[in-house]
Structure 1
Amino acid sequence: MRLVLASNSPRRRQLLTDLGLRYEVRLQEVDESFPAHLHRAEVAEYLAAHKAEAYRTGLAPDEVVLTADTIVCLGDDVLNKPADEAEAVAMLTRLQGRAHDVYTGVCLLCGDGRRTVFSDQTRVHFRALTPAEIEFYVRTYQPLDKAGAYGAQDWIGMVAVTKLEGSYFNVMGLPVHRVWEELEKLGIGALPMNF
């Protein structure tokens, strides 16, 4: 099986590369809206599966496409990517001094029709931040392409994250431990026999 990554995320690309996997990147625009009745992990899984369906007709029988979507939840509120700097500041102001949950949904869709959808959850604890720290981060790092308006691998992760319960890589955008397990089942990612 040949792996296709359907993501423009440099973080996801780096994680797959660091796993030692070979893959091809394919991109197309997919609507990222979701039904209002979905709750937390269901949103991430729905979006990952919805993205995968957009690639179904273009897959060869020996290909598997990996799609993913990461969301940040504060209580039952889903914080996706902010529309602008003001919304990013508002999101981080809500998150500071509190714990929140990060969910990444993943879909593996094979050209032969097999499909696996799963998600992973990480609880992230933020210390209290000053308005100046939040403004500095948003202005300097422009986190408009990140769910919840932050990247744990950025400056804010170093100064604000006090505790993680779950996978750090899940917060970066891909629960690589689960991805590896599922890819092994498909014959991708297994260590070579002569290792």
Structure 2
Amino acid sequence: MRRRIFRNLKPLTLASQSPRRKELLANLGLVFSVEPAKINEPPPESETPKHYALKLARLKANEVASQVKEGVVLAADTIVVYQDEILGKPQNEEDAFRMLELLSGNKHEVFTAYIIQEKSAILAENVVKTEVFFKKLTQEEIKAYLATDEPWDKAGAYAIQGLASYMVKCINGSVTNVIGLPLTEVIEDLLRLKVITYEK
């Protein structure tokens, strides 16, 4: 049996249905329940990408924290930004193709905002940015990737931990942030707040 690094001091609820976030936390041996937030995500207005991601994370945290009886809630939202345009989850194949053409051969940013909340009190909030550099993609490559059905529930229409990993030339920053949860910062906050501790 694999040893764990951390153990819980308080119940932890992940306010997300993302399998990537669940896997990131589970790989560290954390015990948590999953309560996906049921919100209608408002479209971006005049706020910066950083503040938009934070707004969505706050909405998710508030919705789930109002229902959880004990412990803390961890909510997060990840957005992909190319030249100030927020690239959400693609609406259809044409939209996904357009996004990947934009990212092809270029640098873009990935922002993940996360909130740690207990009842109505926000205990920690943060936004982490990672720069991602894509190789130049041919139209044939993009079409072949779209045929895998991997892009459909991913911001920016790609998954760095999946089949799109070969498209990424390099990154500047946290890879787990691009996957959906900046583990270094999240774990530091959970330790500081005494939600988790090191396994003895």
Asked if Structure 1 and Structure 2 have the same fold, meaning a TM-score greater than 0.5 normalized by the shorter chain, the answer is yes
The separation in 1 between residues aligned to 2:171 and 2:53, in whole angstroms, is 19
- For residues 118 and 124 of structure 1, the distance between their equivalents in structure 2, rounded to whole angstroms, comes to 20
Q: 2:130 aligns with which of 100, 112, 122?
A: 122
Which residue of the partner structure matches residue 179 of structure 1? 186
For 2:60 and 2:35, how far apart are their aligned partners in 1?
Answer: 12
State the shift of 1:112 in Å: 6.3
TM-score, scaled to structure 2: 0.91
Secondary structure at the aligned position of 1:190 is classed as: strand
Is this contact kept in 1: 2:37–2:60, CA < 8 A?
A: no
The code of the aligned residue for 2:157 comes to: A
Which residue among 5, 22, 25 is the counterpart of 1:16?
25
For residue 67 of structure 1, report the CA deviation from its aligned partner: 0.8
Kindly report which structure 2 residues correspond to 1:11-160, keeping only aligned pairs within 5 A, or say none. 11-60=20-69, 62-111=70-119, 113-158=121-166, 160=167
Aligned partner of 1:33: which letter? P
1:164 match: 171
Which residue of 2 is the match for residue 188 of structure 1?
A: 195
Contact kept? 1:169, 1:175, Cα under 8 Å? yes
Segments of 4+ in structure 1 off by > 4 A? none
Contact 2:111 2:177 in 1 (8 A): yes
8 Å CA contact retained: 2:62, 2:120? no
Is this contact kept in 1: 2:36–2:64, CA < 8 A? no
In the alignment, structure 1 segments of 5+ residues that lack a partner are none
Q: How many residues align?
A: 191
Moved more, 111-120 or 9-18: 111-120
Instruction: Note closer, same or farther for the CA distance 1:28–1:47 as it changes in structure 2 (3 Å cut).
Output: closer
Q: Secondary structure at the match of 1:97?
A: coil
Which residue of structure 1 aligns with residue 7 of structure 2? none
Paired residue type of 1:72: V
> What whole-Å deviation, never above 9, does each CA across 1:93-129 have from its counterpart, x for those lacking one?
1110000000001011112624322111000000100
Q: Distance in 2 between matches of 1:116 and 1:46?
A: 14
> Whole-Å Cα distance in 2 between the matches of residues 48 and 108 of structure 1?
10
Whole-Å Cα distance in 2 between the matches of residues 34 and 79 of structure 1?
A: 11
Cα distance in 1 between the residues matched to 2:120 and 2:128: 25
Give the TM-score, by structure 1 length.
0.93
